[in-house]
Structure 1
Amino acid sequence: MIQDIKLTRYYYADQREQFSLTEDTYQGWVMLAAQDGSFSFTIDGGDDTKQQLAQFGELIFCPPNHILKRHVLQKLSFHFCEFTCLGDWTLPQIVRLKDISRLRSTFQYLQEWQESEDLHQQFTSDARHLIKDLIFQSHREQYKTQHHSAGTIDPLMNRAAAYIETRTCEHELSLQELATTLGISNSQLTRRFQAAYGLSPVRFSTKVRLTRARLLLVETQDSLENIAEQCGFQNAFYFSRVFSQHMGISPSGYRKNYRV
């Protein structure tokens, strides 16, 4: 249960070429998650010791007294947390979170917390809540994997969603580029993504952009032109047209109605 979890330490590391330690053993549970970049890992002492790849959208869990080996593959920004728990408590070595927009937001808040707080102090309630939420999401994904029929969870499409989430506000989505990265055809990408998320990759990309736009409209004073640029739209006019079409209200109207 979430209330039985006690956090012992947490930190965020930015743009690492390598880990300080290539392997270590911990007294408590460890969660390791990439925010940007990727790494390979193995966990010795368990049933499965094969090397695996981890990148944004995936959380790695190492049980107590197991050896966690890790190696940076692409320049890495990552979150590390150690915690203890009571009773029988298990998680798979790697958990793929489907709600990656929520994951990205949680990572952003954790990063902001670390940059603004004295790290020698104990966890603030906000930081504890955010990390426990990551563990809660992991339990939820594990439950869904165990109770849904085979084929409803598609790890490759989780990678596709993570790819879109991290890049779509920077440039126009290229289905060909994404399909090539995943090693599948454009038609396979579209079909499998639709089955996994109920949206086409293009519609999912638009959803990610609009989610960010809504946040910027409410929390900043940025102009529509500036917000359009930050969210990957060609210009303010195109941004306003897409926003109004999907949200049923103009960006200016949304800002007026929802800013508190």
Structure 2
Amino acid sequence: MEPWRFWIPSVISHVFWYRKKAFQLKEDTYADWVLFAVQAGSFRYRIGEASGEAGFGDAVLCPPGVAFEREVIEPVTFHFYTIGWERSMEEAVELSRGAGDSAAEVKLKESAGAARGLRGSGGDMQPDELSVAESTSELVFSSKMMPVHLSWLDHNRLSSTYFYMEQLARLRPGEPKRAQWNHFLHDLWQLYGMEQEVARQTREQQEQDPLMQEAERWLRQQAFGPILLKELSARLGLSPVQLTRQFHAACGATPMDYLTSLRIQKAKALLLETDMTLEQIAEQCGYENGFYLSRMFSKTMKVSPSRYRSMHRL
């Protein structure tokens, strides 16, 4: 199990930034851990040896005392979290049981920063020095074990979470809402952990099923044109039922659900980034007409395309 799973983020502060065109500081160093969770737009970053781009579906996690270089690519809307870390007792108990201990034998030392999580400032120990002792093993907190770039695949779920986060940010902005921001932060973290576990299992299954790797590649290449699953199943030498069953086992979704997620994600981007009509967007996304796109979009997102556009374009 990845070491980061033994820790849960805890919010210190939260700020919502809407369509920021440029960062005031192209490089900054923070006293605490920070998380930039991107709701729209994109930016480049470099944190230590890690670098890349982050857009919707991504977040960037920076440890204290490390230079965070960043540059806006497209006006970026994001949630800026300052966070600490708390130990996950459930995961610690699971590790202990795996080592042959009972839950009662798991004893964790308290640290100076426990009230606000592990932090780079305050307390006598730095994150890389802090350890948690168990009866037969030791959990060591290190900034190196935390991912720098986080990505989520369930964009529909993520869009819904960000929608409510934005509403909370706009609702009486000056009022403290730490419990609510903790709720959303934990939701993002748990979703990331769950998707990582599913991805691990999927990779293991795909290694045993190269046909489904080919099926996924084909669907991505053909996603925005007319698609007949009979053509794909014939290409792979499978019946449509066999294709659906094997694809779901390997990828966690049916071929049609996978195809729909690709099309709806593109439709969302076009709704927010262009002034195209629904008919034009439908054509770009592989749907016959705007009416059918609207039906599929509303079914998937629980909101109409026009409503989605008006909610997210100010």
Q: Which residue of 2 aligns with 1:256?
A: none
1:68 is aligned to 2:91: no
Q: Which residue of 1 aligns with 2:195?
A: 141
**Displacement, 1:52?**
0.4
CA distance in 1, matches of 2:52, 2:205: 21
1:40 aligned residue (37, 44, 47): 44
Gaps of 5+ in 1: 162-172, 177-192, 210-227, 248-260
Q: Is the 8 A contact 1:25 1:67 kept in 2?
A: yes
Q: Which residue identity lines up with residue 67 of structure 2 in the other structure?
A: I
Q: CA RMSD in A?
A: 4.3
Q: Is the 8 A contact 1:23 1:70 kept in 2?
A: yes
Q: Which residue of 2 aligns with 1:99?
A: 154
**Displacement, 1:132?**
1.6
- Normalising by structure 2, we get a TM-score of 0.49
Q: Is the 8 A contact 2:11 2:181 kept in 1?
A: no
2:183 aligned residue (106, 110, 129): 129
Q: Deviations over 1:145-166 (max 9, x none)?
A: 5565369699xx9xx99xxxxx
Q: Which residue of 2 aligns with 1:23?
A: 27
Note the 1:231-250 alignment, pairs <5 A: 238=292
1:203 is aligned to 2:260: yes
CA distance in 2, matches of 1:240, 1:38: 27
Q: Which residue of 1 aligns with 2:173?
A: 118
- Normalising by structure 1, we get a TM-score of 0.57
Q: Is the 8 A contact 1:91 1:142 kept in 2?
A: no
Return the index of the structure with the highest Cα Rg.
2
CA distance in 2, matches of 1:64, 1:151: 38
Q: Which residue identity lines up with residue 37 of structure 1 in the other structure?
A: G
Question: Identity over the aligned pairs, expressed in percent?
Answer: 23
CA distance in 1, matches of 2:198, 2:29: 30
Tell me: CA distance 1:240–1:137, structure 2 relative to 1, closer, same or farther (3 Å): closer
CA distance in 2, matches of 1:34, 1:152: 30
Tell me: CA distance 1:29–1:174, structure 2 relative to 1, closer, same or farther (3 Å): same
1:13 is aligned to 2:17: yes
CA distance in 2, matches of 1:2, 1:125: 21
Q: Which residue identity lines up with residue 137 of structure 1 in the other structure?
A: L
CA distance in 1, matches of 2:51, 2:8: 31
**Displacement, 1:118?**
3.2
**Displacement, 1:31?**
1.0
